Amino acid sequence: MEDKGKGRGKGKGKGKPSLTVVPGNVVPLLNGKGKGKEGLTAKQEAFAAKVAEGETLAASYRAAYDAENMAPATIHNEACKLMANPLVTARVNKLVEEKRAKTSHDSARIRISVIERLQIEANDTTNPASVRVRALELLGKITDVALFTERLQTDTATTRSPDQITEELKERIAKLAG
């Protein structure tokens, strides 16, 4: 960048640029250069994002870096080295946690919405009885309620011999036949 105008800057010779420090924020990832707020370059950030989405390390490396002329083993090694960088690992963990939090928030919100809607349907007397009963049935099947969950109870406190079991079965058959 040359400054050829007269009176511009305080350079020593003609045509030399003058540099001044400008206070304020600098855009960190301008044209993919520099480091962002997480301390990662744009390519490292892209790599971390792909890994957090569930891509393999090698596929994430290929997506973020120019790996066209690289051998698969080299790509794998470079991806592993990149993942060993504590800043990259921390970023991947953060992105995965954000995704998990968003997903659980969405599923919790949907669950609440469905339960509320079922309660409205169950209490709406203008609905046919079959609709109200079905809404109540679905509410009863919710895991937290578990109203219609069948429970199997086994009695293991008494031990019986095969002869005792055979005798009990004969008695029951006799009652059914008789």
Asked which of 14-18, 41-45, 100-104, 143-147 is least confident by mean pLDDT, the reply is: 14-18
Model pTM above 0.75: no
Instruction: Provide, for the chain, the percentages of residues in helix, strand and coil under a 3-state DSSP scheme, each rounded to the nearest 5.
Output: 55, 0, 45
pLDDT at 30: 44
**Cα gap 18→95, rounded to integer Å:** 42
| In the chain, % of residues over pLDDT 90 | 40
Confidence of residue 82 (pLDDT cuts 50, 70, 90): very high
Q: What is the mean pLDDT of residues 88-102?
A: 90
Is the predicted pLDDT of residue 28 greater than 50, yes or no? no
The answer, yes or no, to whether residue 131 has pLDDT greater than 80, is yes
Q: In whole angstroms, what is the distance from residue 67 CA to residue 87 CA?
A: 22
**Mean pLDDT on 39-56:** 92
pLDDT band at 17 (very low <50, low <70, confident <90, very high): low
Instruction: Give domain limits for the chain.
Output: 32-140
Q: What is the mean pLDDT of residues 125-143?
A: 88
Any residues with CB less than 8 A from the CB of 44 and at least 6 apart, and which?
A: 64, 82, 85, 87, 88, 91
Query: Tell me, what amino acid is at 99?
Result: K
How far apart are alpha carbons 13 and 140 in whole angstroms? 86
173 pLDDT higher than 60? yes
